[in-house]
Amino acid sequence: MAQPRQATPVDAALERPTRIQEVMAQRRPQVELVVRQMVGTIVDTPEADDLGAVADHLRDVGQRLVATRQDTGLASRNKRGTSVRAGCAHTVRR
């Protein structure tokens, strides 16, 4: 019986910077847009206004950015399971 091939070990310390660069390259336009919106909110808010509302808005903008990252990550993953369509489920007849 043939032995399964062993995967080449990957050095996580070397792979991490590469993955960071790839994600940054993908996300740079969105990140710059979000940062521009955040800075615009800060600039447009008079100093006398409540900073709590500004902080809430900035948090919401940041959370939306994270949500888009999660959606993209989920969409890019392969579906797990079998590649064959499931058959009909039979019900019990009484």
- Look at the chain and report how many structural domains it folds into: 1
74 vs 52, which has greater pLDDT? 52
Q: Read off the pLDDT band of 31 (50, 70, 90).
A: confident
pLDDT at residue 6, rounded to an integer? 64
Quick check: is 47 in a domain?
yes
Quick check: is 89 in a domain?
no
Quick check: is 83 in a domain?
no
With 0.85 as the threshold, say if the pTM is over it. Answer: no
Q: Which 8-state DSSP code applies to residue 79?
A: P
Quick check: is 2 in a domain?
no
Whole-number mean pLDDT of the chain? 75
Range of the domain at 49: 28-75
Quick check: is 21 in a domain?
no
Quick check: is 3 in a domain?
no
